[in-house]
Structure 1
């Protein structure tokens, strides 16, 4: 059924589509889960940096919340004990590519920067690294959260459902540092989440947070996680991990 829906999306232009109460983007990625339920899905990705993981895990444990973590093969091989710990705590673990390659051109998204077979092998190597630790995921978060229909098709051929963060907040900018033109500070990110919630709600929202960032960014957004959770729980939201 998922493959059929992805095929339909590939034929229908460049806007988001709602199937029942879930949202897929024009490229076939699931960008928002069941909006009938007051669930928020916390998504964490790991590649270069990992200094915030212990803090995040302690906050999730305190609130008895399960998150969804997506790791590159490079990260898995360099942080095997951490990945096993996250798996043992029953969080979801998924693939995020092996080498964190930029698959698509930033300016011309339909243009692949690497060969299709390279993409396929990159995802397979990531899945193999996870499989070596006994983790066998079926959900894929593309590197840089940037992809096109062909990438989604390749991932689907490997049994992976492609997902992405929900648009509308600035949480995905928490990797930026003050030397970047697109820098966004944590207060602005936090405000954007609550502003969006007040206007549109967060049911089924995929909220992306980076557990590790460059040392140039001293204002770590993941340190706002407990306050964020507490405030949203006070509004009646629950937190769940992704699943198919």
Structure 2
């Protein structure tokens, strides 16, 4: 298959496998999604979903969160890892949302990425999942699978995102990035497939004999 043919096949097969794409992180609005995505850095979605009920019981909006001591936030989110940095970021961004955005999460990449602890990937998730703006957040699953499927050379996460955006129509990005994540977790994980095992790798590269070494 040529690259364009692989991209089309991937899109069609993922739609068959995952016609529904529920958002993995539990949330009720853009603010709680933003906080949950921030917590998910170097932490599993399942662990985040175990932690956020207690955090959001304490405070589920910028006004209430800004009043909480950073130490109290940190105590609750400690199981997610990197808790000192994340707690400081949650407190800081809550105050900025009040001061600069009338307590609302901005629907703007630049404004989101200016918030403490919010990088391009986090901003992309919020824009896609909270506001429906076309974005293609690239996590470790997508970065790895795009290389195994030869949709990118994997030189960087930024390059992978740009390559995937060129290959797939914008109206598919928001759903497709979740579909790839789901497939990566289910069938093409780091331990479960090395580029020669799962359905996608075998179908697109039937003659591949050697494992694919991906760039992190």
Q: TM-score, normalised by structure 1?
A: 0.28
Larger relative CO (CA 8 A, sep 6+): 1 or 2? 1
Q: TM-score, normalised by structure 2?
A: 0.30
Structure with more of its chain in helix, by fraction: 2
Higher-Rg member (1/2): 2
